[in-house]
């Protein structure tokens, strides 16, 4: 494990981002979803490194082995953390891959900093372009996000026990595409995040509008989503994102849940590699 010191400070201490850096070749940065960390990418790291790429996965601030400051969970700050990682490692022609909440970091990074260092983008089960129902956007009602925060505040361990089942559509795929042990593993990853970060990020991914960021994509972009996603509904996310992102491709994985990086890892990895190699 390596650590990156970012420019953000809390009580005079630099925020440290934990990351893994494997392989050689064109760099790919994997940005994890909420409430997990970089270890969620286990099946993708193996496939991408074996295919000849340099693969960097990092823990968002507040999660995994990264620093857990009290603040800084807005997308502008999170995009700045990604920028610091790219600049510190002196990366060029980067392929950005964001899962769920991580798709927001990809969008806000491009919206704020452009694509001079980015070659391609991939959004997987992503929260883009805008998850909240408003007068001009039909998506998810604000009560859903309030319910999530209430559940986390009341009993975070139990909330994530239940959340993990919906994450993988466990009742449908248990014993076949997802084991009880992997469900426990996911719970352990979720519990490594700080409670404050976990709560604040619900507001960030639930209420941040990425529609203008999406319009600034000027690189090849792949959007992958499962049509059985119970966490980020495909109609509120991927199907809208493909209309906003210029020349984006949408690949729908049939019957796949939110956590398709595990349940449908072979299909996802094939889609990633086919797109990256174009």
What pLDDT does 10 receive?
52
Q: Is-catalytic flag, 141?
A: no
In this prediction the pTM is: 0.95
Confidence of residue 14 (pLDDT cuts 50, 70, 90): confident
Which one of 57, 59, 213, 258 is the catalytic residue?
A: 258
DSSP, res 61: T
Is 100 part of the annotated catalytic residue set?
yes
Q: What is the pLDDT of residues 111-120, one digit of tens each?
A: 999 999 999 9
Does the CA dihedral 16-18-24-28 come out positive or negative? negative
Catalytic residue check, 229: yes
Which residue among 57, 66, 100, 271 is the active-site one?
A: 100
Residues 6+ apart with CB under 8 A from 53: 23, 25, 26, 27, 28, 95, 276
Domains in the chain with CATH codes: 2-276 (3.40.50.1820)
Beta strand ranges found along the chain (DSSP E): 2-10, 13-22, 27-31, 54-58, 94-99, 118-124, 221-226, 249-253
- The candidate with the shortest Cα–Cα distance to 67, out of 5, 7, 109, 20, is 5
Q: What is the distance of C-alpha 172 from the center of its chain?
A: 24
- Beta carbons within 8 Å of 199's beta carbon, 6+ residues apart: 149, 152, 153
pLDDT tens, 52-111? Answer: 999 999 999 999 999 999 999 999 999 999 999 999 999 999 999 999 999 999 999 999
Model confidence at 5: pLDDT above 80:
no
pLDDT tens-digit readout, 176-235: 999 999 999 999 999 999 999 999 999 999 999 999 999 999 999 999 999 999 999 999
What pLDDT, on the 0 to 100 scale, is given for residue 254?
98
Distance CA 276, CA 122 (A): 9
Q: Which of 66, 67, 229, 271 is flagged as catalytic? A: 229
Mean pLDDT taken over the chain: 96
Q: Which residues contact 31 (CB under 8 A, 6 or more apart)?
A: 58, 60, 82, 96, 97, 98, 99, 102, 103, 105, 106
CA 257 to CA 231: how far, in whole Å?
Answer: 8
């Amino acid at each position: 494990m390596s650590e990156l010191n970012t420019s953000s400070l809390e009580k005079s201490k630099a925020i440290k981002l934990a990351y893994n850096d494997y392989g050689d070749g064109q760099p790919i940065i994997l940005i994890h979803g909420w409430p997990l960390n970089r270890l969620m990418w286990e099946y993708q790291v193996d496939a991408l490194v074996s295919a000849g790429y340099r693969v960097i996965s990092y823990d968002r601030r507040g999660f995994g082995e990264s620093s857990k400051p009290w603040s800084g969970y807005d997308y502008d700050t999170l995009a700045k953390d990604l920028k610091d990682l790219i600049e510190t490692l002196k990366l060029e022609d980067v392929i950005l891959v964001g899962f769920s909440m991580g798709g927001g970091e990809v969008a806000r990074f491009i919206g704020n900093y452009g694509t001079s260092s980015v070659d391609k983008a991939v959004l997987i089960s992503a929260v883009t372009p805008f998850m909240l129902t408003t007068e001009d956007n039909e998506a998810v009602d604000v009560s859903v996000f309030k319910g999530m925060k209430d559940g986390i505040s009341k009993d975070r361990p139990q909330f994530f026990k239940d959340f993990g089942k919906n994450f993988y559509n466990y009742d449908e795929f248990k014993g076949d595409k997802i084991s009880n042990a992997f469900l426990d593993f996911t719970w352990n990853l979720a519990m490594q995040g700080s409670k404050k970060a976990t709560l604040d990020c619900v507001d960030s991914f639930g209420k941040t509008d990425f529609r203008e960021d999406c319009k600034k994509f000027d690189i090849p972009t792949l959007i992958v989503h499962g049509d059985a996603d119970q966490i980020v509904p495909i109609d509120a996310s991927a199907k809208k994102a493909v209309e906003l992102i210029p020349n984006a491709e949408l690949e729908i994985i049939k019957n796949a849940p939110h956590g398709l990086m595990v349940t449908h890892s072979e299909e996802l990895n094939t889609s990633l590699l086919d797109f990256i190699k174009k």
